[in-house]
Amino acid sequence: DAGVIQSPRHEVTEMGQEVTLRCKPISGHDYLFWYRQTMMRGLELLIYFNNNVPIDDSGMPEDRFSAKMPNASFSTLKIQPSEPRDSAVYFCASSLRGHPTDTQYFGPGTRLTVL
């Protein structure tokens, strides 16, 4: 398997623009997670899905952020409108089931810069 695939790897945009980050989880994995990593706040869980259904979105910072998972092989994280403070590395991860011993496999991340 190719692992978790994220695109784009780098995104530079201007404040106010819409940004869409994409993720393809490992085939057969039931859980998908979106994380954000910044120097100030470290690694934060934004939202996670089980079988395409959002389970916990308490980490989503504001209404400007939205995430969808239309099918088992694709998820998006959208920021509209984007702000400079959204600049971060966004990781997608997936795991087979929800059991604590199931490894969360991380993608390479999308580095977002909002000017």
Where on the chain is the footprint of another protein (CB under 8 A)? 4, 31, 33, 42-45, 48, 50, 55-56, 91, 93, 95, 98-101, 103-104, 106-109
Residue placing its CB nearer to another protein in the complex, 50 or 87: 50
Q: Which C-beta is closer to another protein: that of 43 or that of 115? A: 43
Minimum CB separation of residue 86 from another protein in Å reads 19
Ramachandran class of 2: left when φ > 0, alpha when ψ lies in -120 to 50, beta otherwise: alpha
In whole angstroms, how close is the CB of 16 to another protein at the nearest point?
Answer: 28
The smaller minimum CB distance to another protein, of residues 16 and 28, is found at 28
What's the closest the beta carbon of residue 101 comes to another protein, in angstroms?
7
Written in H, E and C, the secondary structure of 18-38 is CEEEEEECCCCCCEEEEEEEE
- CB–CB of 67/87 below 8 Å? no
* 3-state secondary structure (DSSP) of residue 86: helix
| Closest distance of CB 7 from another protein, Å | 14
Query: Which residues are within 8 A (CB) of 9 and not within 5 positions of it... i.e. 6 or more apart?
Result: 108, 109, 110, 111
Output 4 or 21, the one with its CB closest to another protein. Answer: 4
